[in-house]
A and B are shown apart, each in its own frame.
Chain A
Amino acid sequence: GAVVSQHPSRVICKSGTSVKIECRSLDFQATTMFWYRQFPKQSLMLMATSNEGSKATYEQGVEKDKFLINHASLTLSTLTVTSAHPEDSSFYICSARPPGQDAGGYTFGSGTRLTVV
């Protein structure tokens, strides 16, 4: 089946530094990828939708300059958390839907646990 590979799975960084998270669609081309954040015991919160070759669409309340999204190719989307602070510590997950699938075909990456100290 369709696979979305997400790296790193865990990262610990110092406050003020930047962290890049990568999501790759391994066996399909993803024109659109979705980036979610999930705090403990809460549901997924959509942060932004990345579109290959164009600007990402951010949800209300998500800072564009803090969460930089790049979708430069049909198989790779990246999320960079800039100047990270402890409140950015969360579980970040990407998702994509292989073309030709019905709407049930959303595939998630394995997630990235970010801890900012």
Chain B
Amino acid sequence: GQNIDQPTEMTATEGAIVQINCTYQTSGFNGLFWYQQHAGEAPTFLSYNVLDGLEEKGRFSSFLSRSKGYSYLLLKELQMKDSASYLCAAMDSNYQLIWGAGTKLIIKP
């Protein structure tokens, strides 16, 4: 079956770095997405990886290893506004997104 696993909750300190991991199993693979979702709001796109390696976008970076079925989202210089849920989603061979349950990130001062 198709499955996405990511931690339920993580806590980090303002100004620090946090890495949110995601492992996936899909029928075929057409890329992996990370979205940020604040409570009561719709998700907003953060990153998309389809090739192995690290993609950096400002304070956020995303990494993919296709052979390991693994990705992570790296957040640097954490700010209080980064407190949100982070959703990992893999696209299967039918271009359908398979969503993880999300990781709730709590930032403490």
Report which A residues bind B (CB closer than 8 A).
6, 34, 42-46, 91, 93, 102-111, 113
Are B31 and A110 touching (Cβ within 8 A)?
no
Report which B residues bind A (CB closer than 8 A).
30-31, 33, 40-45, 47-48, 50, 87, 89, 91, 95-97, 99-102
Q: A42-B101, A93-B43, A104-B48 are in contact. List 4 more A-B contacts (CB 8 A).
A: A44-B99, A103-B30, A111-B41, A113-B40
Are B95 and A103 touching (Cβ within 8 A)?
yes
CA gap between A61 and B35 in the complex, in Å:
26
Given contacts A102-B48, A108-B42, contact A46 B33 (CB under 8 A): no
* CB-contact partner of A108 in B43, B48, B101, under 8 A: B43
CA gap between A107 and B48 in the complex, in Å:
13
Are B96 and A44 touching (Cβ within 8 A)?
no
Are B50 and A103 touching (Cβ within 8 A)?
yes
CA gap between A91 and B43 in the complex, in Å:
12
Are A104 and B33 touching (Cβ within 8 A)?
yes
Q: Which residues in B have their C-beta under 8 angstroms from that of A93?
A: 42-43
Q: Which residues in B have their C-beta under 8 angstroms from that of A108?
A: 42-44
In terms of DSSP, what is the predominant structure of the interface of chain B?
loop
Are A103 and B91 touching (Cβ within 8 A)?
yes
Are A110 and B45 touching (Cβ within 8 A)?
no
CA gap between A6 and B42 in the complex, in Å:
10
Are A44 and B43 touching (Cβ within 8 A)?
yes
Q: Which residues in A have their C-beta under 8 angstroms from that of B101?
A: 42-43
Are A110 and B41 touching (Cβ within 8 A)?
yes
Given contacts A108-B43, A110-B41, contact A103 B31 (CB under 8 A): yes
Are B45 and A106 touching (Cβ within 8 A)?
yes
Q: Sort A-B residue pairs by CB-CB distance and give the 6 closest, nearest first.
A: A104-B48, A108-B42, A111-B42, A43-B99, A43-B101, A44-B99
The 19 listed contacts between A and B (C-beta, < 8 Å) are A43-B100, A43-B101, A46-B96, A46-B97, A91-B40, A93-B43, A102-B48, A103-B48, A104-B31, A104-B33, A104-B45, A104-B47, A104-B48, A106-B33, A108-B44, A110-B41, A110-B42, A111-B41, A111-B42
